[in-house]
Chains A and B, each alone.
Chain A
Amino acid sequence: MAGTLETALVQTLNGVQFGFILFMIASGLTVILGILDVLNLAHGELFSIGAYAGIGVFGFVIGVVGPPSGVLGGVVFVLAVLVSVLLTAALLLPVGTVFEALFLRAIYDRDQVYQLVLTFALLLILLDVKKFVWGNTSLRTDAVYSAINSIPTSELVGLNYPTYNVFVILVGIAVVAGLFWFFDRTKTGRIVRATAIDREMATAIGVSTDRVFTLVFALGAFLAGFAGAMAVPPTAATLGMGTNPLVLSFVVIVIGGLGSLRGAFVGALLVGVIRSWMITLYPPGEIAAPFAIMALILLVKPEGLFGTWGETA
């Protein structure tokens, strides 16, 4: 019985951990959709570039810090990993800025088909850029995962659970809190929300929508890069790794409400946990379960659980 409970708890934690990674990806996607009205098909590739670039940054920073030893060493190592993730995400800021200013800005007034074609073209370009820069083989960074797992955390409460996953959950909570704080409390965040609520009225009070759009797209790219760097240590960076998270992020934002940050949070945790449970209860249903939930939500509440973005973050 205890074993069953532990398995259920571990699977739930796995789901929550995956849900937070999914939220980091979906939040960028949904914010871009909510304010720019653009469905960015290249978002998964930004996530993927975050993973590839993250491996390089981890290698550099960990080379400087060295493996963790003792409590203080462990803390320093975790902080170094966090700094690496932030640096990786920061590398995506100019990428997002250039994409928005150079490509997307030209097609805002056009039919959404143009946006889909353009962002799909960007997806293909980024795929080739990855091949060019990192080659066809997958890349790994086992050092981060194993080093953080060597720091005992869950064992303290009698649970055998990877410390890296706990780290992802804690960072995920911080990201959620940070995003809600940004959009609910800061001046810039509220200006962005005002622009999402009524773009024209925002202009009439002096908002430069061009700047807001660039900021939002860069923020989306930052979040995708952040998620990529967080997600890569337990796995590997591969050329096709952007596809699944992109598709699942679509599911998440449809469940939560197109453009709703709150909805993306709830949707991501829902998809993450249910997918994780399915792995234990009925493995063949792992892929289908999120889509089944999405279909159900679309039938019962077509606008999604939380409606559109802006009025509430």
Chain B
Amino acid sequence: MSADTLLSVRGLNAAVEGFRVTEDVDLDVNAGEAVGLVGRNGAGKTTTFRGIMGLTPVWSGSVRFRGEELTDIRSELVPKRGIGYQPEDRKLFTGMTVDENFRLPIWTSGSARGIDDEDGVIEQVYDVLTELDDRRDAKVQNLSGGQAKMVAIGRALALQPDLLILDEPLEGLAPVVVENLKRHIEAINDRGIAVLIAESNVTHVPDVVDRLYVIERGDVVASGDPDDLASDEEIQKLMQGSGTE
């Protein structure tokens, strides 16, 4: 683990409903880095992320964030340590407004994150996700799919995290929205926030991330330069069928 390693996952065996889904997953994210985790549906991306967040049982392995073992602490403390999480299915707090969804993480974890200017942080979120600026008071269930994804990202961003974990943020969106959201993710990363993105479409991420991991059947089978991996025939073969996910 190098000095600037923010997240270090080693031998992660995480389970879903009593079944082991990931097989000794190893991955690292350095401070300020953007890292991709690609794999087909069911490959173990979401379970890896949920294992990092403490939302699913971890049978064995280690998840260290800034050197602290996260598997030893209660799951509600993980965001307080500085990890923002956008789940695959958004999981917005429906019935509440965009603004309320952004403020909730500050109310729950703001003091632990050293946030003393709630409104200032909220404005920073709107500065990044500009499309939501005039939708502040909209109920989140009335938003488009792309806007809803942005709210889920913005909610994670409101924690002022050091690491932002995005689970398939680009999945199911129109190409123009995908490109727009990629720019937002780049803008977030440009602010020094490390980003870990899961995608089932390998072509989505090379221009957004610095490094790429490929996961298959719960196991990390390749890692390296995103452009090299995206153009690798073996990887492409492995990812076949991702278009239907």
Binding site for B on A (CB under 8 A): 187, 190-191, 193-194, 197-198, 200-209, 310-312
In the bound assembly, the distance between CA atoms of A194 and B79 in angstroms comes to 16
Q: Within 8 Å of chain A (Cβ to Cβ): is B104? A: yes
In the bound assembly, the distance between CA atoms of A310 and B140 in angstroms comes to 14
Known A204-B79, A206-B105; judge A193-B91 contact (CB<8 A). no
Please state if A206 and B93 are interface contacts (CB–CB under 8 Å). Answer: no
A40 to chain B, nearest CB (A): 24
**Which residues of A sit under 8 angstroms from B76, Cβ to Cβ?**
203, 206-209
- Which residue, A194, A198, A311, has most C-beta atoms of chain B within 10 A? A194
In the bound assembly, the distance between CA atoms of A311 and B142 in angstroms comes to 13
Query: How many pairs of residues, A versus B, come closer than 8 Å at their CB atoms?
Result: 65
Among B31-39, B107-115, B127-135, B186-194, the one that faces the other chain is B107-115
Please state if B75 and A197 are interface contacts (CB–CB under 8 Å). Answer: no
Question: Contacting B93 at CB < 8 Å: which of A187, A197, A203, A208?
Answer: A197
Q: Within 8 Å of chain A (Cβ to Cβ): is B27? A: no
Smallest CB-CB separation from A313: which chain B residue? B95
In the bound assembly, the distance between CA atoms of A205 and B151 in angstroms comes to 14
Q: In the complex, which residues 75-93 of chain B have their Cβ closer than 8 Å to any Cβ of chain A?
A: 75-80, 85, 87, 91, 93
- Which 10 A/B pairs are nearest by Cβ-Cβ distance? A311-B95, A206-B109, A206-B108, A201-B91, A205-B105, A206-B79, A187-B107, A194-B93, A203-B76, A204-B85
Interface residues of chain B: helix, strand, loop or mixed (majority): helix
- A sample of 11 cross-chain residue pairs with beta-carbon separation below 8 angstroms, ordered by A number, consists of A190-B107, A191-B107, A194-B96, A197-B93, A197-B94, A201-B87, A203-B75, A204-B79, A311-B94, A311-B96, A312-B95
**Which residues of A sit under 8 angstroms from B141, Cβ to Cβ?**
311
Smallest CB-CB separation from A186: which chain B residue? B107
In the bound assembly, the distance between CA atoms of A208 and B77 in angstroms comes to 8
Smallest CB-CB separation from B95: which chain A residue? A311
Please state if A200 and B55 are interface contacts (CB–CB under 8 Å). Answer: yes
B151 to chain A, nearest CB (A): 12
In the bound assembly, the distance between CA atoms of A205 and B87 in angstroms comes to 11
A15 to chain B, nearest CB (A): 30
**Which residues of B sit under 8 angstroms from A202, Cβ to Cβ?**
108
In the bound assembly, the distance between CA atoms of A198 and B108 in angstroms comes to 15
Please state if A205 and B79 are interface contacts (CB–CB under 8 Å). Answer: yes
Please state if A191 and B100 are interface contacts (CB–CB under 8 Å). Answer: no
In the bound assembly, the distance between CA atoms of A194 and B140 in angstroms comes to 13
**Which residues of A sit under 8 angstroms from B77, Cβ to Cβ?**
206
B73 to chain A, nearest CB (A): 12
19 A-B pairs besides A198-B93, A201-B93, A205-B105 with CB distance below 8 A are A190-B104, A190-B107, A191-B104, A191-B107, A193-B93, A193-B95, A194-B93, A197-B93, A198-B91, A201-B91, A203-B76, A205-B108, A205-B155, A205-B159, A206-B76, A206-B79, A206-B80, A206-B109, A311-B96
In the bound assembly, the distance between CA atoms of A207 and B93 in angstroms comes to 13
In the bound assembly, the distance between CA atoms of A201 and B94 in angstroms comes to 12
Q: Within 8 Å of chain A (Cβ to Cβ): is B53? A: yes
Q: In the complex, which residues 143-193 of chain B have their Cβ closer than 8 Å to any Cβ of chain A?
A: 155, 159
Smallest CB-CB separation from A310: which chain B residue? B95
**Which residues of B sit under 8 angstroms from A205, Cβ to Cβ?**
79, 104-105, 108-109, 155, 159
**Which residues of A sit under 8 angstroms from B54, Cβ to Cβ?**
203
**Which residues of B sit under 8 angstroms from A312, Cβ to Cβ?**
95
In the bound assembly, the distance between CA atoms of A206 and B74 in angstroms comes to 10
B31 to chain A, nearest CB (A): 22
- Which residue, A193, A197, A198, A201, has most C-beta atoms of chain B within 10 A? A201
- Which residue, A187, A190, A204, A209, has most C-beta atoms of chain B within 10 A? A204
In the bound assembly, the distance between CA atoms of A204 and B155 in angstroms comes to 11
**Which residues of A sit under 8 angstroms from B87, Cβ to Cβ?**
201, 204
In the bound assembly, the distance between CA atoms of A194 and B103 in angstroms comes to 12
Please state if B100 and A190 are interface contacts (CB–CB under 8 Å). Answer: yes
Q: In the complex, which residues 101-126 of chain B have their Cβ closer than 8 Å to any Cβ of chain A?
A: 104-105, 107-109, 112
In the bound assembly, the distance between CA atoms of A208 and B112 in angstroms comes to 13
- Which residue, A197, A202, A206, A310, has most C-beta atoms of chain B within 10 A? A206
A201 to chain B, nearest CB (A): 4
In the bound assembly, the distance between CA atoms of A209 and B78 in angstroms comes to 14
